[in-house]
């Protein structure tokens, strides 16, 4: 979704803003713009489409200056266009503003402003904030911002430059992330960490309705009542290279290739050298683990699919009931959840609007909240009672890959820890499983080393119109993620079905040439999956089987077989996801799709 970057310091801000916008492009956008103080005026440059269009515009009409703000817009109010692109100004160009989020009461404020003579040029809710600030402004930017802030409803992150004090950037937010940092004689704001990494690793997240005032000499923070506050600095240890593409053609491929490493980093945080769990890293002690009746897991998108697999792990190993829901459904549903119950959200970014809202509802109800999250300092990691961090590092491609893997690793380890504390598995059994688990990076690497096989398959199959992923048990949960990966980046219609459910309707869609990917990593269910493969094969489908080690039966029921190293059935999904991600990747590349930034999608969905 939209991205914000702002700079004030000694350098020319234009390349810095453009750099920042490029590093935020992964969030998804459809226009971009900057406002720069050139020494005498706030100069705006805005262009519909890719950041390259803005670059071209800046080459044709250059501007430079020591302070400025920039934005990538993902249209919500008003179509993607030059006029609707940010920054926006008020009619008198008192200020320039960039905004992420949605001002829910913008119509009401707009009517008031129109009645008072304001003339609007765009269709955006953001211009309403610009005009509102301009309308109230009498020379005191801070007072004006506080006054306007009291009127705004919805979600927003705002960065503003007033022409009267152009080397200062005013920032505030509500329910939309905003992070600031001070480097050597320069201050920077952005909506996401990667834009700051080149300048500083010591950052502060602005919290709801706080105001940050950025000057080249430093940053001041104020609470919602206008009192100055001290804020804790958070050190980000992501290295700059990990947020860059290096020699890879796409971030997605780079991030898939980083999975064995992300696995080790996450595993090492929760597992001691002697293959025992670091049991105090989990949000329950033995008594609590035994007393639990259920865990409710809530999340969106890929993180929801991680939750579906987590349910299978926890129910199977710890014999504990798990309910999984989509955050946007949970928050508006009947909240049948009691005080003190365990409630878990899963979120890579820690900023997904629906997941945050669900977490807040659960807190209101008095639940014991926990989060599986990849970003330190994010809203979700701040607000949950306990955080189980994933150690995927920055994930830039819109399609989640290594973040999903690290989520399911953490959920797997939660299942083992609960199983041990609830007396469902002995310490020795857990250690044996952890030892086997430690071999997974090597098994994953083998898949990566043989990726040409998948590339070749994709080169023959990219014209396929429908792909069905089928599986039973854990494989069904995995199929859901495999299908999402494929549709989101290749735009090929793909669906996941519990293999046994196919014949209750969906089998009607199978025709000559449909591709069916049968995930068959669970030996005790293979015979059942074999029947389902046969049902589609005889109806003309091209069947690809993904198996856990060799499975003799596969050849008779499928046209193609891919194997991962043989391993305990519960561990197989952790490895089998990699060929599925590679399949989606190569099909999308074959079709010439924009792999890292698929159409209409955003990395971090910060609006409902």
Q: Which two tokens stand for residue 569?
A: 């059935």
> Is 301 near ligand G6P (CB under 6 A)?
yes
Q: State the CB neighbour count (10 A cutoff) for residue 591.
A: 15
Q: Which is nearer to ligand G6P, 113 or 602 (CB)?
A: 602
Q: How far apart are CA 426 and CA 428, in angstroms?
A: 5
CB atoms within 10 A of CB 597: 22
**Footprint (CB under 6 A) of ligand G6P, residues 389-408:** 398, 400
Tell me the residue nearest to ligand G6P as measured from the CB.
301
Q: Output 165 or 258, the one with its CB closest to ligand G6P.
A: 258
Q: Give the residue with the Cβ less far from ligand G6P, 351 or 475.
A: 351
Tell me: does residue 207 bind ligand G6P (CB under 6 A).
Answer: no
Q: Strand, helix or coil at 573?
A: helix
Note whether 31 binds ligand G6P by CB under 6 A.
no
CA distance 198 to 219: 18
Q: Which of 42, 388, 603, 607 binds ligand G6P (CB under 6 A)?
A: 603
Q: Can you list the positions of beta strands (E) in 434-488?
A: 466-471
- What is the CA angle 104-25-6, rounded to 5? 70
Nearest to 234 by CA among 197, 266, 275: 197
Annotated catalytic residue 373: no
Exactly one of 2, 118, 300, 367 is catalytic; name it.
Answer: 2
CA 476 to chain centroid, in Å, comes to 23
DSSP code at position 597: S
The only residue of 300, 320, 529, 593 in contact with ligand G6P, by rule CB under 6 A: 300
**Is 352 an interacting residue with respect to ligand G6P (CB under 6 A)?**
yes
Asked if residues 74 and 602 have their Cβ atoms less than 8 Å apart, the reply is yes
Point out which span in 118-126, 155-163, 349-357, 410-418 binds ligand G6P (CB under 6 A): 349-357
Tokens of 252: 């997605």
> Is residue 129 involved in binding ligand G6P (CB under 6 A)?
no
Using CB under 6 A, pick the residue from 72, 176, 347, 376 that binds ligand G6P: 347
**Nearest CA among 45, 102, 53, 105 for reference residue 69:** 45
DSSP β-ladder status, 228-229 and 218-222: antiparallel
What track of x and - describes contact with ligand G6P for positions 311 through 340 (by CB under 6 A)? Answer: ------------------------------
Contacts (Cβ under 8 Å, ≥6 apart) of 334: none
Q: Count of residues binding ligand G6P (CB under 6 A)? A: 15
Q: Is 154 exposed, middle or buried (0-12, 13-18, 19+ CB in 10 A)?
A: middle
Q: Is 290 considered catalytic here?
A: no
Per CB under 6 A, the segment of 175-183, 296-304, 459-467, 585-593 that binds ligand G6P is 296-304
| 182 touches 6 (CB < 8 A) | no
From 46, 311, 485, 603, the catalytic residue: 603
Residues 453-482 that bind ligand G6P (CB under 6 A): none
176 binding ligand G6P? (CB under 6 A): no
Give the C-alpha distances (Å, rounded to integers) separating 582 from 244, 447, 449, 586: 20, 9, 12, 6
Nearer to ligand G6P, 14 or 587 (CB): 587
Residue 601 touching ligand G6P (CB under 6 A):
yes
**Region from 219-227, 240-248, 258-266, 599-607 binding ligand G6P, contact rule CB under 6 A:** 599-607
- Closer CB to ligand G6P, 342 or 605, in the complex: 605
Minimum distance from CB of 202 to ligand G6P (Å)? 23
- Interface residue list for ligand G6P (CB under 6 A): 300-303, 347-349, 352, 355, 398, 400, 601, 603-605
Give catalytic residues, as residue numbers.
2, 603
């Amino acid at each position: 979704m939209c991205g914000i970057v702002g700079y004030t310091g000694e350098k020319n801000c234009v390349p810095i803003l453009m750099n920042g916008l490029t590093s935020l492009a992964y969030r998804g956008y459809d226009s971009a713009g900057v406002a720069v103080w050139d020494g005498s005026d706030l100069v705006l440059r805005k262009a519909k489409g890719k950041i390259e269009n803005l670059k071209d515009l800046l080459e044709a009409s250059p501007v430079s200056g020591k302070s400025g703000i920039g934005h990538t817009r993902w249209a919500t109010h008003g179509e993607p266009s030059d006029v609707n692109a940010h920054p926006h100004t008020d009619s008198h160009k008192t200020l320039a503003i960039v905004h992420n989020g949605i001002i829910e009461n913008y119509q009401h404020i707009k009517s008031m402003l129109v009645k008072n003579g304001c003339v609007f040029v765009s269709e955006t809710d953001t211009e309403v904030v610009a005009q509102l600030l301009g309308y109230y402004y009498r020379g005191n930017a801070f007072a004006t911002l506080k006054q306007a802030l009291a009127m705004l409803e919805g979600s927003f992150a705002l960065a503003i430059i007033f022409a009267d004090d152009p080397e200062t950037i005013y920032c505030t937010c509500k329910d939309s992330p905003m992070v600031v940092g001070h480097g050597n004689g320069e201050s920077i704001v952005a909506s996401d960490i990667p834009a700051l990494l080149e300048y500083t690793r010591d950052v502060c997240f602005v919290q709801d309705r706080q105001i940050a005032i950025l000057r080249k000499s430093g940053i001041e923070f104020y609470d919602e009542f206008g009192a100055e506050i001290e804020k804790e600095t958070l050190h980000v240890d992501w290295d700059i290279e990990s947020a860059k593409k290096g020699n890879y053609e796409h971030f997605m491929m780079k991030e898939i290739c980083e999975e064995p490493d992300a696995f080790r980093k996450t595993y090492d945080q929760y597992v001691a050298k002697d293959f025992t769990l670091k049991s105090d890293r989990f949000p329950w002690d033995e008594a609590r683990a035994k007393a639990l009746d259920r865990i409710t897991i809530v999340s969106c998108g890929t993180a929801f699919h991680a939750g579906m697999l987590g349910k299978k792990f926890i129910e199977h190993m710890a014999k504990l009931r798990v309910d999984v829901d989509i955050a946007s459904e949970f928050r508006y549903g009947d909240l049948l959840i009691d005080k003190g119950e365990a409630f878990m959200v899963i979120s890579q970014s820690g900023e997904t609007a629906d997941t945050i809202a669900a977490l807040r509802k659960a807190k209101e109800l008095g639940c014991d909240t926990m989060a599986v999250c990849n970003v330190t300092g994010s809203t979700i990691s701040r607000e949950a009672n306990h955080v189980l961090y994933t150690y995927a590092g920055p994930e830039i491609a819109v399609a989640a890959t290594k973040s999903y893997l690290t989520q399911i690793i953490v959920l797997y380890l939660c299942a083992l820890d609960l199983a041990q504390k609830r007396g469902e598995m002995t310490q020795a059994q857990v250690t044996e499983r952890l030892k086997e688990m430690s071999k997974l990076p090597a098994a994953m690497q083998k898949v990566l080393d043989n990726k040409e096989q998948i590339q070749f398959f994709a080169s023959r199959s990219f014209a396929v119109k429908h792909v069905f992923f089928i599986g039973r048990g854990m494989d069904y949960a995995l199929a859901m993620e495999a299908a999402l990966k494929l549709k989101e980046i290749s735009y090929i219609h793909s669906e996941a079905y519990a293999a046994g459910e196919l014949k209750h309707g969906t089998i009607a869609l199978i025709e000559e040439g449909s591709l069916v990917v049968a995930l068959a990593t669970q030996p005790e269910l293979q015979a059942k999956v074999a029947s389902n493969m046969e049902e589609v094969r005889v109806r003309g489908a091209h069947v690809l089987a993904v198996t856990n080690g060799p499975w003799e039966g596969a050849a008779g029921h499928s046209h193609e077989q891919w194997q991962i190293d043989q391993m305990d059935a519960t561990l197989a999904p952790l490895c089998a996801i990699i060929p599925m991600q590679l399949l989606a990747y190569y099909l999308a590349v074959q079709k010439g799709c924009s792999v890292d930034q698929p159409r209409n999608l955003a990395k971090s969905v910060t609006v409902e």
